[in-house]
Structure 1
Amino acid sequence: MTHTDDTTAALVALAEAHGIASSYWSFFGDRVEVPAPTLRAILTAMGVDASTEEAVEAAIADREDRPWRSLLPPSLVIRQGGGDLIAHVLDAHDIALSVGLEDGSWRDLEIPAQHPSSRSVDGTTVWRVTVPLPADLPLGWHTVHARQWSRDGGPEQTATMVLAVTPTRLAPPPSRPGNAGRAWGLMAQLYSVRSRASWGMGDFADLGDLAAIAGGRGADFLLINPLHAAEVTPRIEPSPYLPATRRFFAPLYVRPDDIREAAYLSPDRRAAVATARERVTAMDTDPERIDRDAVWLAKREALEVIFAAPRSPGREASLEAFTAREGRPLTDFALWCALEEHFAATLAAGEERPAEAWDIASPLVARLRDELSERVAFFVWLQWICEEQVARAQREATEAGMRIGIMHDLAVGVHTKGSDAWSLRDTYAPGILVGAPPDMYNQQGQNWTQPPWLPDALAANAYAPLRDMIRSLLRHAGALRIDHIIGFFRLWWIPAGLGPAAGTYVRYDHEAMIGVLALEAHRAGAVVIGEDLGLVEPWVRDYLAARGILGTSVLWFEHENGGPTPPEHYRQALLATVNTHDLPPTAGYLAGEHVALRARLGLLTRSVEDERADAVAERDAMLAALRDRGLLPADADEQEIVEALHVHLAASPSWLLGVALVDAVGERRVQNQPGTDREYPNWQVPLADAAGAAVLIDDLPRNPRFRSLADAVDTALRTP
């Protein structure tokens, strides 16, 4: 691909100044030049006029002058140990700077006598002042106050700036005695893991039980799919990676029976709850598909009954404290839920949702906030219940011996019409979706149908959306996996209406974003794992390791000298796994299901024969490596091969080893097939065994295959 005729040097310069890549290296090693329509569309989404050459030149000048027009930038993120603050002051003016620390104390900053650089902006000379920040500033969120006054009696100017002081490096993950600083854990799709007490899908109570079972067998963490909130009206999006919000939990996972007030219901109300549950209990043993819509309709009916029950003064005080702590973001999310219900009802009555409803600041939304206050209160209450049940699951995990406990998963983004995109609209790029360029496994590229954050808007909001999201997830967890952590560095932006291959990368301030992540993780005492698969510049992995953020490796993706990478060559700061949720479980992968499924769905760009031949060669090379190490007898069956692969991986120096629950019970079906939507039941496959029978948590402690794999991994990890 070459630049089109209207891709001028000025347009390229403007794009690069806004972090937009005008060219990039593809997965296949080709240099790709980004066409002008893509650059212009992305600039437009950033609020930059690039429609004409004159507009481009004016935008370049504005980009250069913009920082000089502000006394202080809106925010600054530094590492502990010092850094520089840049202020811009008018000639013949004095300035005073001080830092208000989180603990309420103040520190005055020393202003250098010399101002080495200046610039004429809007006809006025502006001086750039570089102010060294003290090396002993504590970790935390602080505020810089600036005061500028004129010696000739002119008006005084003031400004404030958020200052985040972040840790240079996070501590390594904890482990049990005798494990030489290493730990293993279970990985599961929570919705798929049910018990006899579930309501048709896995829930927060099942989460605690599964953690206790795994902890009892030596596991130190339980990695689960994102539990972000989705829609509250059918059709509920099945993908946990396409949520309505990433800050709040999905009430779909609440166990109604575990709410304290449920125990004190009157007989008729208790019967109403039981009746609601009876509609979905048969789904607990259905091995074919999870029906989120049916589950939510039953749970919502029961939850409304429990919500209406009186609460004790202590419980009411706890709810009020939670509501006050979470503030306006919580009530905005609850309002979005109430509006979704309201407009679903009007749509059923033949009325369209008015355009004004998509604007959170509109008079219509203000009116409905009052009219729907009871439903808003219901959804606020649900988040309080979610937090209680998540906290209980983490306690059960650590009480079972887990050193880390629950490991949450953070999705890349949110739904275009979800709560976050609605309430934080100014922080998202309009008319843009994110995804991934073509690669070997997704040869047509990927469109994840999610709007990206605007880099400048994040900085202008002092990274509060990121901070609050991380803080909420880690309040009752020991670790956080960041899906596609490369999005903290650059994201693949796709202008609406174009295919994934027509996008390009947009850079983010990774030093600031990783700093905010590290600060919140440090405060929570949590481990952070970044999913750094795919197209990753080598320096990024080095950077993450230097900050104490673990990377990710999948056995089937690691190759060296034409064969499987020896486990001894894996990185130390790593979560190593045999498979991933975007591939079939190991039993299915060994059988070539990843080729057969993509062939059935028309996702291959090569012949089925070529793909199958490559898969067989890959499998045979891996089995040969296992035999060379004496891990596999010549007549090994499927279960023995799965265990040998995990024992093989345990020979790596990697700090964390993940074991997929599907591998521990013999499941063969993939949870998610990238590149599909309705063609495959993505994120709707219940946990089943090799025979296709549903596997319940109640039976897991006695499951021979589960026990055997857990014991094999635990033993291998403890063996010198």
Structure 2
Amino acid sequence: MTPLDQLAAAAGVARSWRDAEHQIHHVEDEVLGAVLGALGYPATSENQQQLSLDRLREERETPPSFLSGDVGHPITLPPALAQATHADLYPEQGEPRTLVIHQGQLPPFGQPGYHRLVVEDHALTLALAPSCCPPIAAPGRKRWGVAVQMPSLRDKAGSAYGTLADLPSMIAMLASHGADAVAISPLHALLPGDGQHFSPYSPSSRLFLNGALACPVEGPSPEGLIDWVTQVPSQFAMMQAAHARLTSEERDKLRIWAEEQGPALHRHALFNVLNRQFKGIPWQQWPAAYRDPDGEAARQVSATQGDEISLHLYIQQQTSHALAAAQWATRAHGMDIGLIADLAVGVDPGGSDAWTMGEAMLRGLTIGAPPDPLGPLGQNWGLTSFSPQGLRRTGFAPFIAMLRAVLTHAGGVRIDHAFGLERLWVVPEGWSAAQGAYLSYPVNDLLRLVTLEAHRAGAIVIAEDLGTHPPGFTEAIAACGMAGMRVLWFERDEDGAFRPPRTFPQTSVAMTGTHDTPTITGWWRGRDLAWDRALGRRTPRALAMAEVERAVDRNALWSAVGKPGPVPARDDPAPVVDAALAHIGSAGSALAIVPLEDVLGLEEQPNLPGTTDEHPNWRRRLPAPFEDLAAQPAIARRLDQLDRSRRA
């Protein structure tokens, strides 16, 4: 094993990887060196490699500030503390106690939580996770819900796009049909006020909320599409005017609320002020003095632009109150789960989290996916995420804060690209998406923290596990009580037949589709293939083959979901939508979630992966307010049928 290989293994960077077809690929030395260098371990020469390896060994020998374990099981101490004989435990609740260390292990402890542990004068946090996350449903009970792209909602007043204010009326309507949950698109904070960045999966911060969704703003939606660039500045101006009208008493209440949220909120507000001051450019391109959130220049802005900072605190306050009202509505109408939040896999490298969190975040690396049949050149999502080394150095505090933020007003969370809990495909700056490597994460610690935070919040966890699974990942999340996803289009056997949904495991979520897949109507009509043709995403030969395959697949789908009789015509998708919803409703899964687009039989999907401006991603709106649509007999029957199929 070469020094470079030793260094890569020690830093958790995989020298090789296996693709979807089980072929093994090797990472080039130059790419491996670039990834290691970005992680802070220079590797361009053997001397550098040896120095970096020595540094990694020192880090491993340093007693950690954080340790995780499982309730009721012995806890293995790290090597730096394994020779100790006793430890003092200060539980979150209860009296301190002294524990005897036997063969490098602490005895089992039965109380989940964050406890203080002192081993030979070294203090650390001991996070003990319960055996599993809260169950989705009691045995014999099956729940269901609807997935909603919130900006697509309409109100009767003619707002420019849907906001949190539109959720309560929709929740009331769905609850009247027996729904248990509403899965909403990500609410993470985006870059403030310009409308240029509107993808919910490319946030500025996962700690705070998208203020553009706080309350509606009037405006037209030409051709049924959202004009973010025009409407977000209008909404921001409306919030500015509302903030300017606050009384002294209201400002005092705002200040008290902001202080209760902690200093991270103030830093986020400060970032937003600077981001607008520097015209929205990434913070890496700001004048050098402002790139340090703790530097003198940033402190001066904080001291002299208090009213601007107060505006951004106010926007967060109003958004938080609106989200709390929506979750309260789910409880008031008897929903068992309520809102299911969506946790994005990463953040904009030029955004708030990357600026404020320092070494906890990856620098010089973006995340994506290696080459596969759906993306032969690989994918670079242009996002960053936590650094595994940074998480360990910060005692996992940023990860815990993120989980608490997303669960504050929710009954559950969907973790986007949950494989990121174990590994992420990272691409060094300046290299192609295919020239990356897998970076390992402390999966046991992260799974325990997700389980613990879900337990504390009383929330369910859905792990988006679509794609090539890391070995053992499915079993690991199932052991923690996290539900994987079973999507209609992907549940097929070797012969191409759609699997019976009654065979889906109870610890799963059954779905007709996601925001990235065609709707049932769109698939049946071949709208996804039409987009491929219009955008030149496939060769004419490949398109012709795809059309032939789709004809066969239509027969296969109807054979799986439909009633005896002729296959509905390509331009008659309504019977297929009805049958597919009932099909997924019969799944053995504890929870079924149907995208709102499928409930309504819409043709277009919210997002077309691999496109930006070519397809109107995240801009589509419903044809009418949901209450009006749900009052239509055909839609009401679908909702009632879905409820009956879940409760049968």
What band does the TM-score fall into relative to the shorter chain? Answer: over 0.9
Q: Distance in 1 between matches of 2:246 and 2:542?
A: 64
In the aligned structure 2, how far is the partner of 1:159 from the partner of 1:134?
Answer: 20
Q: 1:185 aligns with which of 142, 145, 150?
A: 145
- Name the residue aligned to 2:244: 308
- Residue 320 of structure 1: how far off its partner (Å): 4.1
Q: Distance in 1 between matches of 2:530 and 2:432?
A: 25
d(CA) in 1 for partners of 2:25, 2:53: 24
Query: How many Å apart are 1:316 and its aligned residue?
Result: 5.8
Residue 501 of structure 2 is matched in structure 1 by: 567
2:108 matches 1:172: no
Change (3 A) 1:633 1:619: closer
Deviation of 1:296 (Å): 2.2
Q: TM-score, normalised by structure 1?
A: 0.85
Structure 1's 322 and 514: CA in aligned 2 closer, same or farther, altered over 3 A? farther
Q: 2:224 aligns to what SS in structure 1?
A: coil
The alpha carbon displacement at 1:95 in A equals: 7.6
Matched, 1:208 2:168: yes
Q: CA deviation at 1:543?
A: 1.1
Once the two structures are superposed, the pairs formed by residues 286-305 of structure 1 within 5 Å of their partners are 286-305=222-241
1:22 lines up with 2:15 in the alignment: yes
TM-score (norm 2): 0.94
- Hey, what does 1:241 align to over in structure 2? 201
Q: Work out whether residues 223 and 407 of structure 1, in 8 Å CA contact, stay in contact via their aligned partners in 2.
A: yes
* Structure 1 residues 602 and 99: CA distance shift in structure 2, 3 A: farther
Aligned to 2:109: 135
Deviation at 1:318, TM superposition (A): 5.2
Residue 262 of structure 2 aligns to a residue whose secondary structure is helix
Aligned 8 A contact 1:429 1:454 in 2: yes
Q: 102, 114, 122: which one pairs with 2:92?
A: 102
Unaligned runs of 5+ in 1: 1-7, 115-129, 148-157, 257-276, 688-693
Q: Aligned with 2:472: secondary structure? A: helix
Q: Deviations over 1:454-500 (max 9, x none)?
A: 10111121211111111122121111001110100111111122222
- Cα distance in structure 2, aligned partners of 1:631 and 1:90: 67
Q: Which residue of 2 aligns with 1:333?
A: 268
Aligned: 1:546 with 2:479: yes
CA distance in 1 between counterparts of 2:619 and 2:280 reads 26
Q: What is the 5 A alignment of 1:143-158?
A: 143-147=116-120, 158=121
Is the 8 Å Cα contact of residues 370 and 378 (structure 2) preserved in structure 1?
A: yes
The question of 1:435 aligning with 2:409 is answered no
Alignment correspondent of 2:123: 160
Report the 3-state secondary structure (helix = DSSP H, G, I; strand = E; otherwise coil) of the residue aligned with 2:78.
strand
Contact in 2 for aligned 1:495/1:503 (Cα 8 Å): yes
Q: Which residue of 2 aligns with 1:77?
A: 68
Local SS of the residue matching 2:220: helix
| Shift of residue 705, structure 1, vs aligned partner | 3.4
Tell me the distance in 1 between the aligned counterparts of 2:178 and 2:26.
Answer: 51
Q: Distance in 2 between matches of 1:241 and 1:383?
A: 19
Residue identity matched to 2:39: M
Q: Which amino acid aligns with 2:109?
A: A
Deviations 1:513-539 (A, max 9, x none): 111111111111101000000011352
Check 1:244–1:184 CA distance in 2 against 1; reply closer, same or farther (3 A cut): same
Within 2, Cα distance between the matches of 1:424 and 1:47?
16
| 2:427 aligned partner | 494
Deviation at 1:404, TM superposition (A): 0.5
Paired with 1:412 and 1:619, the residues of 2 have a C-alpha distance of: 33
Give the structure 1 partner of residue 544 of structure 2: 609
The 3-state SS of whatever aligns with 2:80 is: strand
Residues 620-673 of structure 1 deviation map (CA, whole Å, 9 limit, x = unaligned): 21112234xx37764573111111012112222101111111112222112111
The amino acid of 1:329's aligned partner reads A
1:464 aligns with 2:457: no
Is the contact made by 1:584 and 1:670 (CA closer than 8 Å) also made in structure 2? yes
Partner residue, 1:253: 213
Q: CA deviation at 1:48?
A: 0.5
**Residue number in structure 1 paired with 2:524:** 590
Q: Which has the larger radius of gyration?
A: 1
> For residues 390 and 682 of structure 1, what CA distance do their matches in structure 2 show?
24
Q: Distance in 2 between matches of 1:49 and 1:207?
A: 50
Aligned-pair identity (%): 30
Following superposition, the deviation at residue 695 of structure 1 comes to 2.0
Counterpart CA distance in 2 for 1:615 and 1:576 is 22
Take 1:527 and 1:575, find their aligned partners in 2: how far apart are those partners? 11
Higher mean displacement: 512-521 or 380-389: 380-389
Alignment of 1:504-543 (within 5 A): 504-537=437-470, 539-543=472-476
- Contact kept in structure 2, 1:195 and 1:698, CA below 8 Å: no
* Selected match of 2:588 from 628, 634, 653: 653
2:78 to 83, 86, 95: 86
Listed as ranges, the matches of 1:674-685 within 5 Å are 674-685=609-620
Q: Assess, with a 3 A threshold, how the Cα gap between structure 1 residues 632 and 708 changes in structure 2: closer, same or farther.
A: farther
Residue 47 (structure 2) pairs with residue 54 (structure 1): yes
Paired with 1:299 and 1:336, the residues of 2 have a C-alpha distance of 19
Q: Which deviations, in whole Å up to 9, do the C-alpha atoms of 1:323-381 show, x marking residues without a partner?
A: 2232111001011111112222999xxxx841332221332212112122211111112
SS at structure 2 position matched to 1:282: coil
Does the CA contact (< 8 Å) of 2:193 and 2:212 recur in 1?
no
> Equivalent residue of 2:263, what SS?
helix
CA distance 1:35–1:710, change in 2 (3 Å): same
Q: Which whole-Å CA distance do the structure 2 matches of 1:570 and 1:37 have between them? A: 44
Alpha-carbon offset, residue 418 of structure 1:
0.6
Against the structure 1 CA distance between its residues 501 and 345, is the aligned structure 2 distance closer, same or farther, given a 3 Å change threshold? closer
Contact 2:568 2:575 in 1 (8 A): no
Q: 1:499 to 1:614 in 2, by over 3 A?
A: farther
In structure 2, the CA distance between the partners of 1:346 and 1:526, relative to structure 1 (3 Å rule), is closer
Per-residue CA deviation, residues 425-460 of structure 1 (Å, 9 max, x unaligned), is: 211221111011223333332211011321011112
Match of 1:282 in 2: 220
C-alpha displacement of 1:213 = 1.3
Measured against aligned partners, the alpha-carbon deviations of 1:607-627 in whole angstroms (never above 9, x if no partner) come to 221222223322221112234
Q: 1:379 to 1:486 in 2, by over 3 A?
A: same
Q: Deviations 1:187-230 (Å, cap 9, x if unpaired)?
A: 11001111124631111111222122111111100011101110
Q: Quick check: 1:199–1:295 contact (8 Å CA) kept in 2?
A: no
The RMSD of aligned alpha carbons is 2.4
Residue deviations 1:143-162 (CA, integer Å, cap 9, x gap): 22244xxxxxxxxxx43211
Aligned residue identity for 2:583: H
Shift of 1:423: 0.5
Partner of 1:281: helix, strand, or coil?
Answer: coil
Counterpart Cα distance in 1 of 2:281 and 2:22: 52
Where does residue 578 of structure 1 map in the other structure? 512
Q: C-alpha separation between the residues in 1 aligned to 2:344 and 2:147?
A: 16
Question: How many equivalent pairs are there?
Answer: 641
Distance 1:507 1:139, change over 3 A: same
Q: Does 1:717 align with 2:637?
A: no
| Aligned residue in 1 for 2:576 | 641
Name the CA distance, whole Å, in 1 between partners of 2:383 and 2:38: 14
Q: In the alignment, is the contact (CA less than 8 A) between 1:252 and 1:295 conserved in 2?
A: no
Q: Distance in 2 between matches of 1:22 and 1:646?
A: 44
The residue that corresponds to 1:13 in the other structure is 6
- Distance, in Å, in 1 between the alignment partners of 2:36 and 2:341 is 34
Contact 1:491 1:506 in 2 (8 A): yes
Note the residue ranges of structure 2 that are not aligned, 5 or more in a row.
none
